[in-house]
């Protein structure tokens, strides 16, 4: 038997092996995809209701007589905010169901409407005083979260009474109940009432926190990377620092939270729950990531470019800033964005520094109390109201969307600005 | 040394295998002792040199890369440094513009003077030195910038042009001197990395001469090029000799023979022999040079 | 002997054998030429028409060898780009074979003139004693080839030194022949033939000296042509 035959014999086996191996790979990839798909499917199905809210049509008379405003009273903020909007809303509800007399039933009737309806009405009137006229105002107000859930999902829970179900059926018949896009989710901040809760506060909190993180960790990270890679003398101390930076990347994030609590809040006396401290802590956490990826990017700049610049008489500094850094920038930015994405999704260290508080105000700067998206998710997932489940899922979706965008940006930067030589 | 029986002649003139080059063989035997005294054969010292090195030793940590090298480089001459890999010729070249400064473990002793000034003197600024002694590398390494910016980088760095039109002129003349201008004049803003290998190398030469150095060091400038591109570079080197002093490290002996006026042969960190290129290539005096040039086992 | 043969030791073993091959061929050619010259001299001495005929016709072998070696040398130049001693060897061989071929031509002349003399019913010995010149030249050729084979500079130098002797001998032969021709004009025809033979032998000596000079170039890398013996010695001792 010659070699060709031997090779032929072994060929079959080899191809079979190759096919088997490819199959394993495919199975692994498929498994991953299935799990990812399940996860996304679960989140999306849960999140969909959160993007819609149930509204009920109210007809509210806004003439001066009903409001007990004599015609000589000026319509300014003081006089307008003094109006009993709660009474107006309740009255309007009573008018819808005039045959209800019992106090208990009335109370249930009022509960159809979100407790925030009167405030929405007030804000509307104050911003548009010309609404005070003889024509009654037709306004869609948010339904209570239980009714919302009942109407959207058509499943009754014990929190919806028989009487309330009856009311809803009547409203449906009169075409006075509908679902519409839930803008509140994006424009409001946290609330105890799910139908009034939104993510704007958390979103801005995340924004301010990340801004602080970016402005701290990017310059420090790049500076440290450039120094370590280009200028630091090769000695034991440098080696020691290198090892520690690498180890720092593997430190559990909650440890950074403890550190932030001890140093920034207890020692420096910074306020709790503010994006500034959150950003500081997250900077500590992302620094190793940025330093390591920046060093890798700097290292990948071919030495021939450096030599060319040095050979022309550029100083070491000039070489680094004219050639090495610009060429390493895509890599550095990719690392920074991935570090930022990590920071965006981080919860544990922020819990330690008090960014887990219930904050209704939308933060206007880095020293306003705030919470962040992942913490908001954590908070809502703990809430008993059923509607919060949907809000949690929706917030996760938003967070995932931001992470995806950031990662895509990183890929874009890498693909587009990476120079070939 | 081995006895080579194939050299025996079975013809009418039955000759024994007496050494063909009696005297040079004797040199080869004395060579082993020469190694200790580090004597370089030939005309390594010349009158009125541009560059002059005396008793230069180079160490990387504890490893000595150059042993007691003394070599002069004349004005407007092309000197070729040849030798087997790892013989220290590139290291020697890099000591001439202090590129070895960037290697922390590198130590240099001895004296290297450029026009009589010691380049390792404290007063000598390596940045200034490198503006005076330019370098072209083995692999064409244009910056990932436009052709124009590649050439303009050096003049901008050293502030050689006061106005844009002055800079334009420097760029154009440099490209012309490098024989590249006609090929790229329509695309000066195109990236330098988009040129062919030979063009890239000429761009690097243009970039080097843009700062008007006095000496150009070339480290195997054509080793990655095809014969045509190599021939163009060699022709260019010959033209550049009018204005510059050139030291070229090359692995191609034919190239050394073609472009240089003098040749120095390096072996194991020592300069074995220096002489006129024609003499080195027709009648080297040292057995090691002979062996290297004829392609024999060292 | 513990020195490498100068031809061997290349990293390319085929280059070694190529150089060895052309060198051996040159030596073969040298042997052929030497035989021709010796036979020519013998024919003159013995008035042997068979040998003379042979000498007159065998020259083509030498010419063929010259062409063959020439081609091989060109091939080596083209493919190997030899340098230093290799280059000198190839150049030396190219030149040496030219001289050898010319020596062959001179030997052929000896044979042809001898045949003519025999046709006339005469012998060279009647006119002049070529034997001494012939021996001298034969020895010189032998030594030149020996110097080439062994790359022996001393032998080459000694051979170059003999040039004067050959010239002196030739001069005296010519005077002898001129005297003869003046005394007996009828002998002019044959005497001229004999003088041409002497001339041919003298030329062989010149070519042998050329070969010795090439050997010195090959060995020392110095061109010693067109300078006198003392100057050569001075140059080489430098």
* pLDDT 10s digits, B244-266: 999 999 988 889 999 999 999 99
Query: Is the CB of residue A350 less than 8 Å from the CB of residue A369?
Result: no
Q: pLDDT (tens digit, 9 = 90+) per residue, C124-146?
A: 777 777 888 888 999 999 999 99
Instruction: Answer yes or no: is pLDDT of B285 > 70.
Output: yes
B131 close to A (CB below 8 A):
yes
Instruction: Answer yes or no: is pLDDT of B8 > 60.
Output: no
Rg of chain B over all Cα atoms, to the nearest angstrom:
21
B116 close to A (CB below 8 A):
no
The arrangement of secondary structure in B38-142+217-294, i.e. its CATH architecture, is 3-Layer(aba) Sandwich (3.40)
Instruction: Answer yes or no: is pLDDT of B7 > 50.
Output: no
Q: Do C3 and B1 touch (CB under 8 A)?
A: yes
Average pLDDT, chain C: 86
Q: Where are the domains of chain C?
A: 13-237
B104 close to A (CB below 8 A):
yes
A11 CB burial (10 A radius; 0-12, 13-18, 19+):
exposed
Strands A52-60 and B41-42 come out as unpaired
Q: What is the pTM of this model?
A: 0.74
Half-sphere exposure of C112 (CA within 13 A, CB side): 11
Q: Where are the domains of chain B?
A: 38-142+217-294
Considering only the beta carbons, identify the residue of A234, A310, A327 that sits closest to B130: A310
B259 close to A (CB below 8 A):
no
The whole-number average pLDDT for the span B278-290 is 88
What backbone phi and psi angles, to 5 degrees, belong to A94?
A: -60, -35
Interface pTM, i.e. ipTM: 0.78
Chains interfacing with B (3 or more CB pairs < 8 Å): A, C
Q: How confident is the model at residue B17 (pLDDT cuts 50, 70, 90)?
A: very low
- Quote the longest CA-to-CA distance of chain B: 80
Average pLDDT, chain B: 82
B21 close to A (CB below 8 A):
no
For CA atoms A243, A245, A251, A255, the dihedral sign is positive
Q: Where are the domains of chain A?
A: 3-48, 51-195, 200-417
Q: pLDDT (tens digit, 9 = 90+) per residue, C8-51?
A: 778 888 888 888 899 999 999 999 999 999 998 888 888 888 88
Name the E strands within A4-144. 52-60, 137-142
Chains interfacing with A (3 or more CB pairs < 8 Å): B
Local confidence pLDDT in tens for the 421 residues of chain A: 688 888 888 888 899 999 999 999 999 999 999 999 999 999 999 888 888 888 888 888 888 877 777 777 777 878 888 888 888 888 888 888 888 888 888 888 888 888 888 888 888 888 888 888 878 888 888 888 888 888 887 777 777 888 888 888 888 888 888 888 888 888 888 888 888 888 898 899 999 999 999 999 999 999 999 999 888 888 899 889 989 988 988 889 899 999 989 999 899 988 888 899 999 999 999 999 999 999 999 999 888 888 889 888 888 899 999 999 988 988 898 889 889 988 998 888 888 888 888 888 888 888 888 888 999 999 888 888 888 888 899 999 999 999 999 889 888 888 877 665 4
The predicted structure's pLDDT at residue B298:
58
**Chain C hits for B289, Cβ within 8 Å:** 84
Q: Do B157 and A314 touch (CB under 8 A)?
A: yes
**Chain B hits for A327, Cβ within 8 Å:** 144
Optimal mutation site among A239, A306, A308, A320, interface B, most CBs of chain B within 10 A:
A308
Please tell me whether residue A4 adopts helix, strand or coil conformation.
Answer: helix
The whole-number average pLDDT for the span C179-185 is 87
Instruction: Tell me the shortest Cα–Cα distance from C182 to chain B, in angstroms.
Output: 44
B157 close to A (CB below 8 A):
yes
Optimal mutation site among A312, A327, A421, interface B, most CBs of chain B within 10 A:
A312
Instruction: Answer yes or no: is pLDDT of B36 > 90.
Output: no
The whole-number average pLDDT for the span B119-140 is 87
Instruction: Tell me the shortest Cα–Cα distance from B143 to chain A, in angstroms.
Output: 6
Check residues A68 and B193 and name the one with the higher pLDDT: B193
Considering only the beta carbons, identify the residue of A234, A311, A318 that sits closest to B97: A311
Question: What is the C-alpha separation between C69 and C22, in angstroms, rounded?
Answer: 6
Question: What is the C-alpha separation between B262 and B250, in angstroms, rounded?
Answer: 13
Per CATH, which fold does A200-417 belong to?
Answer: MetI-like fold (1.10.3720)
Optimal mutation site among C6, C219, C238, interface B, most CBs of chain B within 10 A:
C6
Tokens standing for A160?
């919806």
> CB contacts < 8 Å between B and C, how many?
118
B173 close to C (CB below 8 A):
no
Decide if domain C13-237 falls under CATH 3.20.20.70.
no
């Amino acid at each position: 038997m010659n070699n060709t035959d031997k090779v032929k014999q072994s060929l079959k086996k080899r191809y079979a092996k190759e096919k088997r191996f490819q199959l394993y790979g495919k199975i692994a990839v498929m498994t991953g995809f299935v799990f990812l798909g399940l996860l996304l499917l679960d989140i999306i199905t849960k999140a969909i209701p959160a993007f819609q809210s149930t509204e009920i049509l109210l007809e509210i008379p806004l003439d001066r007589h009903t409001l007990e405003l004599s015609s000589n009273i000026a319509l300014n903020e003081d006089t307008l905010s003094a109006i009993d909007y709660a009474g107006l809303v309740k009255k309007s509800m009573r008018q819808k169901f005039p045959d209800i007399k019992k106090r208990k039933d009335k109370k249930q009737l009022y509960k159809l409407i979100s407790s925030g309806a009167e405030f929405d009405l007030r804000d509307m009137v104050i911003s548009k005083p010309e609404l005070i006229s003889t024509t009654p105002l037709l306004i869609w107000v948010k339904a209570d979260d239980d009714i919302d859930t009942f109407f959207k999902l058509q499943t009754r829970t014990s929190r919806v009474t028989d009487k309330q179900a009856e009311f809803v059926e009547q409203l449906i018949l009169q075409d006075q109940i509908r679902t519409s896009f839930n803008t509140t989710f994006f424009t409001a901040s946290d609330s105890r009432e799910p139908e009034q809760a939104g993510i704007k506060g958390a979103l801005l909190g995340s924004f301010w926190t990340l801004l602080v993180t970016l402005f701290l960790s990017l310059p420090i990270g790049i500076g440290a990377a450039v120094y370590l890679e280009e200028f630091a003398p090769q000695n034991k101390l440098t080696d020691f620092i290198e090892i520690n930076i690498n180890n720092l990347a593997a430190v559990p994030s909650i440890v950074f939270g403890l550190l932030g609590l001890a140093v920034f809040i207890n020692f420096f006396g910074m306020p709790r729950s503010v994006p500034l401290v959150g950003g500081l802590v997250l900077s500590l956490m992302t620094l190793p990531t940025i330093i390591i990826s920046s060093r890798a990017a700097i290292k990948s700049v071919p030495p021939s470019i450096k030599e060319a610049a040095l050979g022309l008489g550029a100083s070491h500094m000039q070489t680094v800033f004219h050639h090495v850094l610009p060429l390493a920038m895509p890599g550095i930015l990719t690392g920074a964005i991935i570090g930022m994405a990590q920071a965006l999704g981080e919860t544990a260290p922020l819990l330690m520094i008090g960014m887990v508080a219930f904050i209704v105000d939308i933060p206007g700067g880095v020293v306003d109390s705030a919470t962040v998206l992942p913490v908001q998710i954590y908070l809502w997932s703990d809430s008993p109201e059923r509607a919060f489940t949907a809000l949690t899922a929706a917030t996760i979706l938003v967070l995932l969307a931001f992470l995806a965008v950031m990662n895509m940006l990183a890929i874009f930067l890498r693909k587009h600005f990476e120079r070939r030589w | 040394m081995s006895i080579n029986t194939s050299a025996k002649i079975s013809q009418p003139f039955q000759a024994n295998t007496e050494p063909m080059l009696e005297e040079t063989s004797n040199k080869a035997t004395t060579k082993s002792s020469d190694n200790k005294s580090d004597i370089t054969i030939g005309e390594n010292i010349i009158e009125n040199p541009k560059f002059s090195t005396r008793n230069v030793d180079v160490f990387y940590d504890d490893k000595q890369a150059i042993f007691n090298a003394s070599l002069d480089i004349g004005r407007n001459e092309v000197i070729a440094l040849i030798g087997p890999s790892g013989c220290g010729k590139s290291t020697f070249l890099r000591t001439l513009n202090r590129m070895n400064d960037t290697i922390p473990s590198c130590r240099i002793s001895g004296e290297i003077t450029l026009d009589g000034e010691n380049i390792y003197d404290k007063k000598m600024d390596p940045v200034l030195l490198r503006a005076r002694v330019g370098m072209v590398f083995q692999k064409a390494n244009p910056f990932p910038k436009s052709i124009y910016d590649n050439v303009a980088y050096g003049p901008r760095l050293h502030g050689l042009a006061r106005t844009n039109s002055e800079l334009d002129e420097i760029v154009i003349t440099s490209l012309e001197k490098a024989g590249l201008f006609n090929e790229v004049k329509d695309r000066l803003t195109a990236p330098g990395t988009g040129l062919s290998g030979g063009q890239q190398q000429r761009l690097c030469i243009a970039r080097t001469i843009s700062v008007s150095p006095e000496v150009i060091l070339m480290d195997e400038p054509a080793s990655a090029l095809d014969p045509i591109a190599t021939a163009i570079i060699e022709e260019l080197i010959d033209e550049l000799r009018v204005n510059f002093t050139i030291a070229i490290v090359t692995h191609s002996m034919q190239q050394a023979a073609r472009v240089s006026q003098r040749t120095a042969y390096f072996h194991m960190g020592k300069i074995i022999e220096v002489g006129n290129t024609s003499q080195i290539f027709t009648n080297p005096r040292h057995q090691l040079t002979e062996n290297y040039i004829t392609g024999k086992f060292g | 002997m513990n020195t490498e043969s100068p031809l061997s030791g290349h990293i390319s073993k085929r280059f070694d054998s190529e150089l060895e091959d052309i060198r051996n061929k040159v030596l073969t050619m040298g042997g052929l030429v030497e035989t021709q010259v010796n036979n020519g001299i013998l024919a003159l001495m013995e008035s042997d028409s068979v040998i003379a005929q042979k000498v007159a016709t065998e020259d083509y072998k030498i010419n063929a060898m010259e062409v063959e070696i020439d081609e091989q040398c060109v091939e080596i130049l083209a493919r190997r780009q030899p340098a230093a001693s290799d280059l000198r060897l190839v150049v030396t061989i190219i030149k040496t074979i030219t001289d050898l071929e010319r020596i062959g031509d001179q030997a052929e002349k000896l044979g042809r003139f001898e045949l003519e003399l025999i046709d006339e019913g005469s012998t060279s010995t009647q006119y002049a004693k070529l034997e001494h010149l012939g021996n001298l030249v034969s020895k010189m050729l032998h030594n030149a080839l020996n110097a080439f084979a062994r790359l022996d500079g001393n032998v080459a130098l000694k051979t170059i030194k003999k040039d004067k002797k050959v010239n002196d001998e030739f001069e005296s032969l010519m005077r002898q022949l001129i005297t003869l021709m003046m005394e007996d004009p009828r002998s002019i025809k044959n005497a001229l033939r004999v003088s041409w033979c002497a001339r041919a032998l003298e030329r062989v000596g010149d070519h042998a000296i050329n070969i010795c000079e090439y050997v010195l170039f090959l060995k020392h890398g110095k061109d010693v042509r067109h300078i006198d013996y003392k100057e050569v010695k001075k140059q080489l001792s430098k």
